[in-house]
């Protein structure tokens, strides 16, 4: 079976006799797809330790209710009582709201989840045929423009807005190491560094140079082929010839855009998973948004959240459980009987979940 590989840094040392998973549905369809992921995890039974699920709050709706999008209790329980988590989706407003900031961005920072790993994998009609798209976007998760340092002032020419973009050697080196480890574990052993250093020579220049230096400083990466691509041409080539890419590593904003664009190659954002990973914690997260237009209609695609659960388990070295979940999803997608509207079908969320669980 062809499978986009998850991070190769084993987190088996984190596994306990009881696996404690924090569940943070947050907003919109997150409240439908995270329970679907839980159901899939429960279906693997003895292939993982005895599991407890802890329901936690975060998101825009939580902010409206309690005045804080990421309550202290949620952070404390994740740090002290959980060794992994699943996050749903956030309905962050597009305008500035006093006191509000994105809880997923905050969680990535407070838990030091410095890598967002997003495999994009198509399902071939024949299980023995290589997928047309099989790549991984490795997105730096803690800095770039997502430090959210903005200012607005009035000048003689009217309003002037500025944003600070932060790129550090530390963050670039560790995301580079994560990307090289991933590339080393895949058959092609190929890594593409995404940047725009022809314009942003200082910030993107630092990112580019630091990532490349990872291989120069560690001989174990000597067989990894390193390529580079400017971010704008990378998007173009992603649509024209996705097969040239294997592992792509990028600063935060570029990685966000590239992985969403890549989702179009496999049919929908509703099938693309991710994990937010650090050295001591991992949190699965479907790539899609909160989709308020379909909330509560039982038509949200649960595949991305279920694959995110598998990716989370794989990262923690529960390979057999992850393989069972992924194989079940592949089977359902391949058969095409139970597809949600985003994939051209008419199945309900609950029907897709039932079909996947039956195959698990």
Active site residues: 146, 196, 232, 256, 260
Ramachandran region, residue 71 (left: φ > 0; alpha: ψ -120 to 50; beta: rest): beta
Are 85 and 283 in contact, with CB atoms under 8 Å apart?
yes
Are 344 and 317 in contact, with CB atoms under 8 Å apart?
no
Comparing C-alpha atoms, which of 205, 220, 270 is closest to residue 28? 270
Comparing C-alpha atoms, which of 311, 284, 318 is closest to residue 19? 318
Query: Both tokens of residue 107?
Result: 């969680």
DSSP of 162-220 = EEEEE--HHHHHHHHHHHHHHHHTSTT-EEEEEE-TTT-TTHHHHHHHHHHHHHHH-GG
- Residue 94 CA to its chain's centroid (Å): 21
What SS3 class is residue 294? coil
């Amino acid at each position: 079976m062809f499978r986009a590989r998850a991070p190769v840094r084993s987190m088996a040392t984190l596994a306990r006799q009881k696996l404690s998973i924090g569940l943070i549905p947050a907003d919109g369809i997150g409240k439908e797809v995270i329970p679907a992921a839980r159901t899939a995890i429960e279906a693997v039974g003895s292939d993982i330790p005895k599991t407890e699920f802890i329901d936690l709050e975060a998101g825009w709706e939580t902010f409206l209710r309690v005045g804080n999008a990421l309550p202290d209790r949620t952070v404390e329980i994740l740090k002290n009582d959980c060794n992994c988590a699943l996050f749903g989706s956030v309905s962050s407003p597009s305008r500035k709201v006093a006191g509000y900031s994105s809880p997923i961005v905050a969680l990535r920072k407070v838990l030091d989840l410095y890598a967002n790993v997003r495999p994009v994998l198509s399902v071939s009609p024949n299980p023995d045929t290589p997928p047309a798209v099989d790549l991984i976007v490795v997105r730096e998760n803690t800095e770039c423009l997502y430090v959210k340092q903005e200012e607005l002032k009035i000048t003689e020419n009217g309003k002037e807005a500025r944003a600070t973009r932060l790129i550090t050697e530390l963050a670039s080196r560790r995301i580079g190491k994560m990307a090289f480890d991933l590339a080393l574990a895949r058959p092609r052993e190929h890594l593409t560094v995404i940047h725009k250093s022809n314009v942003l020579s200082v910030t993107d220049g630092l990112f580019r140079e630091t990532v490349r230096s990872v291989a120069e400083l560690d001989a174990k990466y000597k067989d990894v082929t390193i390529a580079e691509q400017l971010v704008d041409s990378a998007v173009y080539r992603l649509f024209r010839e996705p097969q040239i890419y294997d592992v792509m590593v990028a600063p935060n904003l570029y990685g966000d855009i590239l992985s969403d664009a890549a989702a179009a190659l496999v049919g929908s954002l509703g099938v693309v998973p991710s994990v937010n990973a650090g050295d001591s914690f991992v949190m699965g997260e479907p790539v899609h948004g909160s989709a308020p237009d379909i909330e509560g209609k039982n038509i949200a695609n649960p595949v991305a959240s279920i694959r995110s659960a598998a990716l989370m388990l794989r990262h923690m070295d529960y390979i057999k459980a992850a393989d069972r979940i992924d194989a079940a999803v592949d089977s359902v997608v391949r058969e095409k009987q139970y597809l949600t509207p985003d994939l051209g079908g008419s199945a309900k969320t609950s029907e897709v979940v039932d079909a996947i669980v039956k195959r698990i």
